[in-house]
Structure 1
Amino acid sequence: MRDIYMTIGDVSKIYGISKQTILYYEKLGLFPPAKIEDNGYRYYTLEECYRLEIILTLKKLNLSLKDIQDYVEHRGPQMLKTLLEDARYGFDRDINDLYTNKMHLERTLFNLERYLKIPQNRLFFGMKEESFYVLTPYDAKEKGKKKLFTLIQHQAQLLHEVPFKEVKIGMAIDGEAYEKGDITNYSHYCTDVGFDYEGEREIITRPRGMYLELFYTGLYEEQASWIYEKVSSYLSYEGLQIAGSVYIEPVRNYWTETDRSSYLSKITIPVEE
């Protein structure tokens, strides 16, 4: 049987792979034929079939063709053990990534359903757990393309670093400035990245404490005055003061809305007596 030759068409039909794939493997040096005739016809024996069996099986482990070729050419039990251990590590990593993505997906669904029902233009007062933010300094002097680049770069880096998640850019305002009425004097671009962020950016923790929160529709600059009046009145009546940075964040933005006037956002203000 080892002296019986098969054509590339035979191999293609038996193993259910295209002739182009077989030729590609040959070009890489991964699957050379037993012989090539002067007319270019390629022939394969049982030995080549054994080699192809190894290749096709190891591909199911998401191994690179380079690693598969290295194994096929130098194979042995210890090398197979190492290769399979590496594949197991890759699967463990993939499983962890899938779990993380699913967790974020569930959280996104929960928040989407919640924010579809949330009352708007009302102040909520209560305890909030700590949150974790990445900040980029906001420079009011930046204009045009430079300002756009700062905004987009804040976003783009996070898209590479975080699992599935709507990376939403908000604005932060220094609490003292906001309390004095500087209601659009932004200090930073901000994004809530969650507790499991493992990127390279510095994390700022918004501490656990008492907060005022209000949801509103439309652009912040158009709503800022009446929101400030509502917040100031509440603080004065309750004898409270602002205790840290104010965060203005989109809840529903271009992910779900085509008109910016339909955006749903929230303003979150830490307070203390």
Structure 2
Amino acid sequence: MKLYRIGEISQLYGISVDTLRHYEKLGILMPEQVSDSGYRYYSNRQIWQLNIIRTLRQLGIGLMDIRDYLSHRTLEKSQALVEFQLDTIDQKLRELSRLKQELEDRHYYFQESQQVKVSEIKLKTLPARKVWIEMCEAQTIWEIDRLHKEIELNTEDSRLSYFAWGRAGAFISEGDFHKGNHAHYSGSFIIDKLADKEIPAGDYLCMHFQGEYSRQNIDEQYFRIKDYMQFHSLTLAGPVVEIYKLDIHETDDEREYLTEIQIPVSL
């Protein structure tokens, strides 16, 4: 009977010697022989068992359950194990399918965001949108992001994930808008159909802008919109809405940030 030293088994399976010793300590995989000098030798029987152990570990089965199975294998236990493996694989396939769909949606969102016409001002009639709101003042994107995180954590079961989908934003009060305090935010929100509040439906003057959240860049965008409002005799009809389409969650390059300004107006 051919025997293999522990180092050979380690190299053959890419499993550390320490792991093999741990399996031995737990009584999961015992060497065929241990020499007087302490060298451990494994036979084909242990190699076969190691194949089973690796398969079961890949399925997330605990070491103690593996030890129980290997200590007294029966046809009934083997059949139950196969059924468990099939159920586990089905579950993993469902999880992978959900992940694939999420990644495909995310990929589409990135492509769609890059097709936006930056700096174009358009009047849109928008429906009411359900939102979770945290009415707390903020002046930087980092403060706003922290408020979004608080909203996410306070949502039931913390099921809400706001980033990368253009559903997170902040409000600028009517007073700050008129005063030119375009980087002073009165509250933050996350759009969610199960939320308890809403941004009202109505006519909104909408514009996407790209770039950093510096005071100079923000003021430049709002001055353009105010000039447009004055030229078309439009008046502010509520708090200003900013929605962050691409931001710190997608890129470290501030030049790639994409923000949509939505200003409720009366005609």
**TM-fit CA distance, 1:52:** 1.0
**TM-fit CA distance, 1:107:** 1.2
1:92 aligns to 2:94 (yes or no): yes
**TM-fit CA distance, 1:267:** 0.8
Match of 1:22 in 2: 20
Match of 2:9 in 1: 11
Match of 1:172 in 2: 171
**TM-fit CA distance, 1:54:** 0.9
Asked whether the 8 Å contact 1:135–1:204 carries over to 2, the reply is yes
Asked whether the 8 Å contact 2:31–2:46 carries over to 1, the reply is yes
Equivalent-residue separation in structure 1 for 2:161 and 2:100 (angstroms): 13
**TM-fit CA distance, 1:96:** 1.1
Equivalent-residue separation in structure 1 for 2:71 and 2:58 (angstroms): 19
- Within 5 Å, which residues of 2 pair with 1:40-119? 40-61=38-59, 63=61, 65=63, 68-73=66-71, 75=73, 76=77, 77-111=79-113, 113-115=114-116, 118-119=117-118
**TM-fit CA distance, 1:154:** 3.0
The amino acid that maps onto 1:248 is E
Asked whether the 8 Å contact 2:59–2:85 carries over to 1, the reply is no
Asked whether the 8 Å contact 1:168–1:249 carries over to 2, the reply is yes
Equivalent-residue separation in structure 2 for 1:104 and 1:23 (angstroms): 44
1:271 and 1:58, CA in 2 relative to 1: closer, same or farther beyond 3 A? farther
Equivalent-residue separation in structure 2 for 1:34 and 1:164 (angstroms): 55
Q: Note the alpha carbon deviations across 1:31-87, whole angstroms, 9 max, x for none.
A: 232343332211223432222121122344455555544544465122431343134
Equivalent-residue separation in structure 1 for 2:171 and 2:179 (angstroms): 14
Give the 3-state SS of the residue equivalent to 1:124 in structure 2.
Answer: strand
1:15 and 1:214, CA in 2 relative to 1: closer, same or farther beyond 3 A? closer
1:256 and 1:148, CA in 2 relative to 1: closer, same or farther beyond 3 A? closer
Equivalent-residue separation in structure 2 for 1:56 and 1:257 (angstroms): 40
Equivalent-residue separation in structure 2 for 1:71 and 1:234 (angstroms): 79
| Structure 1 unaligned blocks of 5 or more | none
1:152 and 1:234, CA in 2 relative to 1: closer, same or farther beyond 3 A? same
Which TM-score applies when normalising by structure 2?
0.67
2:227 to 226, 230, 242: 230
1:65 and 1:247, CA in 2 relative to 1: closer, same or farther beyond 3 A? farther
**TM-fit CA distance, 1:213:** 0.2
Asked whether the 8 Å contact 1:101–1:163 carries over to 2, the reply is no
1:32 to 30, 33, 46: 30
* Aligned residues with identical type, % of pairs: 23
Asked whether the 8 Å contact 2:106–2:165 carries over to 1, the reply is no
1:187 aligns to 2:186 (yes or no): yes
**TM-fit CA distance, 1:124:** 0.6
The amino acid that maps onto 2:208 is F
The amino acid that maps onto 2:146 is I
Equivalent-residue separation in structure 2 for 1:232 and 1:66 (angstroms): 70
Give the 3-state SS of the residue equivalent to 1:49 in structure 2.
Answer: helix
1:148 and 1:215, CA in 2 relative to 1: closer, same or farther beyond 3 A? closer
Q: Note the alpha carbon deviations across 1:148-185, whole angstroms, 9 max, x for none.
A: 677436348859953983788632135x6578768656
Q: Note the alpha carbon deviations across 1:239-273, whole angstroms, 9 max, x for none.
A: x763x54311344545446457x854321134566
Equivalent-residue separation in structure 2 for 1:224 and 1:100 (angstroms): 33
Give the 3-state SS of the residue equivalent to 1:236 in structure 2.
Answer: coil
State the Cα RMSD in Å: 4.4
The amino acid that maps onto 2:37 is N
Which TM-score applies when normalising by structure 1?
0.66
1:264 and 1:95, CA in 2 relative to 1: closer, same or farther beyond 3 A? closer
Equivalent-residue separation in structure 2 for 1:265 and 1:44 (angstroms): 63
